[in-house]
Chains A and B, each alone.
Chain A
Amino acid sequence: EPEVTQTPSHQVTQMGQEVILRCVPISNHLYFYWYRQILGQKVEFLVSFYNNEISEKSEIFDDQFSVERPDGSNFTLKIRSTKLEDSAMYFCASSRLSNTGELFFGEGSRLTVL
């Protein structure tokens, strides 16, 4: 069964360093998303991406964050200068349709900022 894959599964970084989290969405899906879950808190929306541009973003997704689809398969989230409060599980998701589409999530990338 097709699935969303994410790498790395766990990354530890020093505060101020750049981090890139990678995702391979399901192949025939057109809409891509990043969500995050800080330990013990709710899953939060970061950004949605369609047709090579951001379609919606939350207040969390500030100038330190960027997303890119560098080729036909990968979808990346870059955090330019990590802060302690960026420590969280980051989930990539994809859907075939927009408003009425079912979202499929990856296993997540755990980011620890020291």
Chain B
Amino acid sequence: KQEVTQIPAALSVPEGENLVLNCSFTDSAIYNLQWFRQDPGKGLTSLLLIQSSQREQTSGRLNASLDKSSGRSTLYIAASQPGDSATYLCAGGNNAGNMLTFGGGTRLMVKP
């Protein structure tokens, strides 16, 4: 059974800092890995999707990597802004219809 873990649970950084959020998973046979953003009381906004055959994806200031052999994914945020403050969730997709297993999230606060 897939288990997804995100460390740290919370992170506070000053504005402008580059940062890395970590995600680890136990079953390397994932089909894809997706990163989401969740604002308080809101839904999940898809940020990046990495297929199992890919190593990374980029969108604007965000870059996500996937290393299946080590069971790790990272989300790199460049030049962080206060508007980036949110909870970031990673989720691994299984091989039977895209059932996602979620990590517990990293709550990010970017201070002005």
Q: Which residues of B contact A (CB under 8 A)?
A: 31-32, 34, 36, 42-46, 49, 51, 89, 91, 93, 95-105
Contact = CB atoms under 8 A, between A and B. Distances in A.
Interface residues of A, number: 26
B109 to A, nearest CB: 18
Contact of B46 (A103, A107, A108): A103
Nearest to B48: A102
A43 B102 contact: yes
Contacts of A56: 96-97, 99
B43 A105 contact: yes
Interface of A: 31, 33, 35, 42-45, 48, 50, 55-56, 58, 91, 93, 95, 98-108
B31 A31 contact: no
B36 A55 contact: no
Contacts of A104: 46
A45 B43 contact: no
A22 to B, nearest CB: 15
Contacts of B31: 99-100
B43 A48 contact: no
A99 B105 CA distance: 22
Contacts of A93: 44
Contacts of A35: 100
